[in-house]
Structure formats: structure tokens, C-alpha cells
Structure 1
């Protein structure tokens, strides 16, 4: 990779195992508690070369999800991941569930952003955050949207799944909806829904009342994001800069 190539530095200290735990919402007092200890894991460096000029897109690859480069990160293709089977299962279920359809019918005539705002408000109102151990007696389970709506309780991924399925039933393109797994800067491990529109990405967070852009939200660090037919690992984009000593060495050698 040349000097002008790009590096993506994966966010240090975010072990994927931590993302498998559901986040417990904190009170205002807990949010103001002592600062988190710095991550002790070294940063992992991944080089991604610039796209080759003139590279053609295969004509059979259509309707592909965009890379979710959000919250100041760059999203790199993650290949097959632990979460793929879970995402496929919940994203293909409950399309005709009567509760999902009823919520979808109430927002179907709205424009994209208004649709997101209405679903964010309504689903947050209907479903009370509850840890999986309390609600279902297991440590971690991604429930189908209809199941969560009937119980009226669920944790962050369950609530995000309901929003995703209601939006799809209301006409939202599946490739523009993503489940993002990461860390909230004050609450710890967290999962939320990302939605892409003509106006950019929006965040549907069960711990926030309003529909927000990633910049407005600003408290989430994504580690892995799942979308239609793809998954991504997030890192920070930096540019390699030649050191002064290296420049002087080349000048002295005449290169």
C-alpha cells in the first residue's frame, strides 16, 4: 500500500464479546458516575487500499446496502460473523404479523423522515426496556418483532428489531435499515437501529425520545453493524503521513 493509502484503525478495547451483553439503561445519577476506565486492549490496524480506478461493478450486484460510515467511523466488510444468522432470522420474520401490520398502516403515508420519527415514538411508547433474563429467562435472545410487541417488553436489540420490521412493512427499503452493535459512552454495551434516507442517516435509539442524526446523538461507538446481505466492522479513518526523518533520508540518498 502506497504512502497515500488509507488506514482504518479499529477502535481499541472493544472486544466483540462485550457486544453480546444487553445494555442496562442508567439513571441520571449513574450517567454522572465516575468516568470509565480506559480500554486496555491495543488498537488493531487494518489497511484498506483505495478503490482501484476504473473498477466496474458487477451487473448482477444490485440494491446493495451502503456502507454505514457513521459516528465518525469507516465501515469495513466483516465477512461472515457470529450475528449473521440472528439477523437473517429476525429480519425475515413477522412481515405479515397483525401487530406489525397495524403499526405499519399508521405510518405508511408519511415521508421517510416523518415515518422514522413516528415509529421511533410509537415503539418506544409501547415497549418497556427489560433485560432478557427478566423478560424471557435467558441471558441473550433476539426476539421476533411480533413476540416483543405481544409481551410489551424487550431489551435494546428487541426494540430495534420491532422498529426495523414495522418500517419495512410500511414500505421502507430493507437495504436502508441496519442493526448496529456497539457501546454507549455512558451506559456501556448497546444496540440501536440506523436508517438511511435521502437526507442521510438517522438513529432510532430506545433510550432517546427524539429521532436524531449520528452527529446529534454523538454518544454511541459502533463496533459491528448488520444489514441486508452484509455486515461491517467499524474503525477510525486516518491517513499515513511520511515522517520527517524518512523524508530527509530519501533526500540524502537522492531518491
Structure 2
């Protein structure tokens, strides 16, 4: 992975923005977050009899098993160390969600599904995997500041792609959680991915190879991230 700096970094970022927009990613995030929409998720308040009844009504009784397993995963994860938490969540998502494009799944060029929608239907695209893992890890007790969703270019297929990254310390090389690979590896062991930018509920960063990159200090804001977080908190 190459480190970008100065004007070359900004120019590359702008060109990728255009490319991603053509894929209907809409760049929801460029902004996102700079309103600092803080994310919270309370599994103890969510997983109750009413919740499972709604899941059964909407997605079918056969899908409730996956949600019971998700509940167990989150509860048990609170007792595990961070690396074990990452592995358990990564494996669970990759096993329980099958890849399907948004146009095939939702009839839309671009749709950000909540974790409930992804697990309920059993399908999702790369963004949905990353969102599911992000939410599950926060619910497990991982600090949001250590997690970011990252847009990359998957060089082996030459397409924009999204992964989840975890960094124990601000200057450490992040670990990559990816639906294309079952094994979690450091970013410097993933030469097939070219990082572009990363984000969470606290901000947006231009990416670089070592560490987490430079924070973008301004943005116009998009409703998409906020609406996604609201839908998650409403149990959708």
C-alpha cells in the first residue's frame, strides 16, 4: 500500500470520489460524521421477547435462530479479549451473511442495510458486512474510536470495496476485517487493498499505509449515515 501526501493525496482522493460516485456509493460519508453523530447500541434492551417475535413475523421463524446466535455472540464477547472479539464477529458475519449486490437484493443501486436487515434476509454486500461487524463490535464493548469503515480499491478485482479496520493505538497498523477473506490480517499484509479513506461516527480520514491517516476537518454532511444509525437504534 502506498502512502499519499500533500496535493497528490487530495487529488487521488478526489478522483476516487468521482469513481465511487459512478458506482452509486454516493459518498455518503464524506461528511458524515463531521456532525459527530454518536452511535450507541444496547443489546440488553434490544434482545427481548418482543424483538424476536418481530423478527419471526418479518423474516420467518427459521431466521430467529441466527438472531439468538448473534445475541450469544455479543454477550459472550464482552468476556473476551479484543482480538478474539474481532475474530468471532468476523467469522459470524462472513458465515451468516451471503454476498448479494444491492440491485439484486433491494432493487436499488445503493442501499445501506442495518445489521438486522442483513441478518434477517441473510444477504448483503461489502458495506453491509462492514456495518454489521462495526455495530456488533461496539455492542461487544470495543471503543468506537478504534473502529473505522474503510473504502479501498480491491486490486485483484479492480473495484471499490469496503472493509472494517481496527487499531488498538492511533499509530498502529490497523487489522482488516473483510468479507473476501476469512483471516484477519494487518493492513501491510493486504497488498491487494489500496486504502482510500476511512470513517466512523467521529470523523472522516484520508488514508495512508502506516497508521490511520489525516483527518478531514470539514464536510457538508449527508443524511445517509445519520439515517442508518437512527434505523439501527429504532431496531430496524
Q: Do these two structures clear the TM 0.5 threshold for a shared fold by scoring above it?
A: yes
Give CA deviations for 1:42-95 in whole Å, capped at 9, x if unaligned: xxxxxxxxxxxxxxxxxxxxxxxxxxxxxxxxxxxxxx954516x988x83764
Distance 1:176 1:230 in 2: 12
**How far 1:227 sits from its partner (Å)?**
2.0
Indicate conservation of the 8 Å contact 1:22/1:155, yes or no. Answer: no
**Aligned match of 2:213:** none
Match of 2:165 in 1: 194
Q: 1:146: which partner in 2? A: 116
Pick closer, same or farther for the CA change 1:81–1:148 going to 2, 3 Å. closer
What corresponds to 2:179 in structure 1? 206
What is the CA–CA distance in structure 1 between the aligned matches of 2:189 and 2:195, rounded to whole Å? 15
Q: Which has the higher strand share?
A: 1
Q: Which residue of 2 aligns with 1:159?
A: 129
Kindly name which structure, 1 or 2, has the bigger radius of gyration based on alpha carbons: 1
How far has the Cα of 1:113 moved from its partner?
Answer: 0.9
Task: For 1:174 and 1:181, locate their aligned partners in 2 and report how far apart those are by CA, in whole Å.
Answer: 17
Return the TM-score normalized by structure 2: 0.64
Partner in structure 2 of residue 15 of structure 1: 16
Structure 2 counterpart of 1:92: 39
Task: Give ranges in structure 1 of 5+ residues lacking alignment.
Answer: 1-5, 24-79, 238-255
- Equivalent residues of 1:22, 1:190 under 8 A apart: no
User: Structure 2: 5+ residue runs without aligned partners?
Assistant: 48-66, 211-236
Which residue pairs with 1:226 in the alignment?
199
Give SS of 2:108's match: coil
Greater shift, 99-108 or 116-125, is seen at 99-108
Task: Name the CA distance, whole Å, in 1 between partners of 2:209 and 2:165.
Answer: 19
Q: Which aligned pairs between 1:1-255 and structure 2 lie closer than 5 A?
A: 7=6, 9-10=8-9, 12=12, 14-20=15-21, 21=23, 81-82=29-30, 84=32, 92=39, 95-96=42-43, 97-98=46-47, 99=67, 101-187=71-157, 188-197=159-168, 200-234=173-207
Task: Indicate conservation of the 8 Å contact 2:36/2:203, yes or no.
Answer: no
Q: Which structure is higher in helix share?
A: 2
Q: Give how far 1:136 is off.
A: 0.9
Matches of 2:19 and 2:122, distance apart in 1: 26
Counterpart CA distance in 2 for 1:117 and 1:111 is 10
**Structure 2 CA distance for partners of 1:88 and 1:106, relative to 1, 3 Å:** farther
Alignment check: 8 A CA contact 1:22 1:131 kept: no
Q: Deviation at 1:122? A: 1.3
| Cα offset, 1:233, TM superposition | 2.0
CA spacing shift, 1:83–1:17, aligned 2, 3 Å: farther
